[in-house]
Amino acid sequence: MNNNTEHNIKPVIAVFSGGFDPITEGHLDIIRRSALIFNRVIVAVGTNPEKVELFSKSERVELIRELIKGIPNVEVQGYEGLTIDFVKSVGGTVIIKGVRDSVDLRYELQQANTNRLAGGVETLLMLTGDRYALTSSSLIKQVATMGGDVSSMVPQRVAEKLKEKISSMKQEKRASFQENDAS
C-alpha cells in the first residue's frame, strides 16, 4: 500500500548539486543511491567562484550525462547562481548532499538550515561509502596534475579526460613560455 497516488503524495524531485570538477566514483555512488529513493533526480552542475575549474561547465555536464545514461530517472543540468533558486525553479523539494566526514557534516547542516528557512526545501545528507570517504575532486585534480594514478577514484572515462585536459594545459603552458622567451 505504498502507492503515492493513494495518499495524494506528489512525486519528489531531488537535486544533487555540486561542482563535479571532476565527477568522482563517490558522486556516482550517491547519484545511483538517490535514483533508488526519488522519482526524479536532477544532477545540478554549478560553479564555485572560490575554485579554479579544470573542466568547463558544459564539459562537466556532458561527461556526467555519458556516465549516467543508463539511469532513467536521472538528468543533468548546468545552472548559475544560488542552488536554492535553481532547486525552486525545477520544482525540487529535496537537496541531496554527500557527507564524507565531520567537516562536511558541519558545513552541510548550516546550508540545510538556511535552505529550509529560505525556501522550504529539505536536505538529505547521504553518507559516502567508506571506500570514497577520502576522495574529493580537489584531491583528484592535484594527484592527476602531478602525474599520479586516479583510476580508483574516478570512472575510466573521467581518468581519460583528465589526462587529455592536463596534457593540453601543459602544452599550452610550454608554448606560452616559449613565446615569452622569444620576446
Whether 116 is a known active-site residue: answer no
The widest CA-to-CA distance across the chain, in whole angstroms, is 76
Identified catalytic residue from 100, 116, 136, 165? 100
Length of the chain in terms of residues written: 183
Identified catalytic residue from 17, 27, 40, 141? 27
Whether 7 is a known active-site residue: answer no
Identified catalytic residue from 51, 69, 131, 173? 51
Rounded-to-integer distance, Cα 52 and Cα 50, Å:
7
Rounded-to-integer distance, Cα 25 and Cα 155, Å:
6
Identified catalytic residue from 17, 97, 137, 161? 137
Sequence-separated (6 or more) residues with CB below 8 Å from residue 23: 60, 63, 64, 67, 137, 154, 155, 158
Whether 51 is a known active-site residue: answer yes
Whether 137 is a known active-site residue: answer yes
Q: Which residues are catalytic?
A: 27, 51, 100, 137
